[in-house]
Structure 1
Amino acid sequence: DTNLFTRMTEPHKPERVKEILRLVTIGTDLREDQSTKVRELIASFADIFALSVHEVHQVKDIVHRLDIQPDAVFSTKVHQKPLTPPQRQYLYTSIDTMLEAGIIDACKPEEVKCVSATTLAQKAH
C-alpha cells in the first residue's frame, strides 16, 4: 500500500506507524509494561523506519570511495552460476526498484571495470 510510504511527508501517520509495529518483532520474554514501552518507543521514532527503498534518505556529504590504483586491472569476465527463473525475477525486480529509487545508477558496458558473480542469500527471518 503506497499510502503508507509517507516517511518524507507524514512520518508519524497512524497507518504508517501501525504497519511499522506490525513488521517489527518484539520478543515474548518482555513483561507487558516493557512491551508497551517498546511499542511506544518505536512509534515515537517512526520517522527513522523506511517501509520501502524509496523512503531511504541519502546521507548528505557521504560518498562511497574505493581506494584503487588507477592502473589496477580486474576481471571483467562473469563467472555467474545460472539463476533459476524465480531468482532471476527477484534479482531483476530488485535492480529495477533500486534504479527507480536512485540507489544505483545504470552504466554502459565500457564503463565496467570489475565484475563478480551475484549471490542471492535468504535472510534468516
Structure 2
Amino acid sequence: YTRHTDPFNPIRVTEILRQIKIGDDLTTEQCEQVTSLCSEFADTFALAISEVFPVDFKTFKLSFPEETTFKTKVNQRPLTPPQWEYLYERLNKLKKAGIIRRIEPEDVKAASPTMLAQKVH
C-alpha cells in the first residue's frame, strides 16, 4: 500500500472504497456523498497496520504508587497451532511497523496471559 508515499493513488482509493460497506438505508445521492468524502479523505485511511502513522504529540503513561508490584511471570494457557500462528503473525506485523518492540526479560514490569477472542463477522 502507498499511504506514506501516494495516499491518493487511484488503485489505493479504489481498494478503500471496496472495503467500505455503505448501508442500504442511504439514498443513492447519500451513497455518492459518502463515496466522494471517502475519496477526498483517502489519506486518513490505513489499509494495513504498516500504513498507520506513529504520533509524537501524544504520550500515554500509567502512574502507580512506587511500592506497587505486578506479576511478571504468567501461567499462559497453551495456544493451539492456529492460535499461535495467528498471534505471532500479528505480533510480527506490529513489530515491523514499529508499533511494538522486543524487550529484555529483566525489563518486564508486568505481564498477563494472552487471550484470543474470536470476532463475530
Q: In the aligned structure 2, how far is the partner of 1:85 from the partner of 1:23?
A: 29
Aligned to 1:95: 91
What is the total number of aligned residue pairs between the two structures?
121
Match of 1:118 among 108, 114, 119: 114
Q: Which runs of 5+ in 1 are unaligned?
A: none
**Distance in 2 of aligned mates of 1:117 and 1:99:** 19
CA RMSD of aligned residues (A): 1.2
Q: Matches of residues 72-111 of structure 1 in structure 2 within 5 Å?
A: 72-111=68-107
Cα distance in 1 for partners of 2:11, 2:66 equals 50
Q: 2:51 aligned with 1:55, yes or no?
A: yes
TM-score normalised to structure 1 length? 0.90
Structure-2-length-normalised TM-score: 0.93
Indicate the percent of aligned positions where both proteins have the same amino acid: 47
Instruction: Tell me how far apart the structure 2 counterparts of residues 110 and 18 of structure 1 sit (CA, whole Å).
Output: 47
**C-alpha separation in 2, matches of 1:121 and 1:24:** 24
The unaligned stretches of length 5 or more in structure 2 are none
C-alpha distance in 1 between matches for 2:4 and 2:116:
30
1:117 is matched by which residue type in structure 2?
A: P
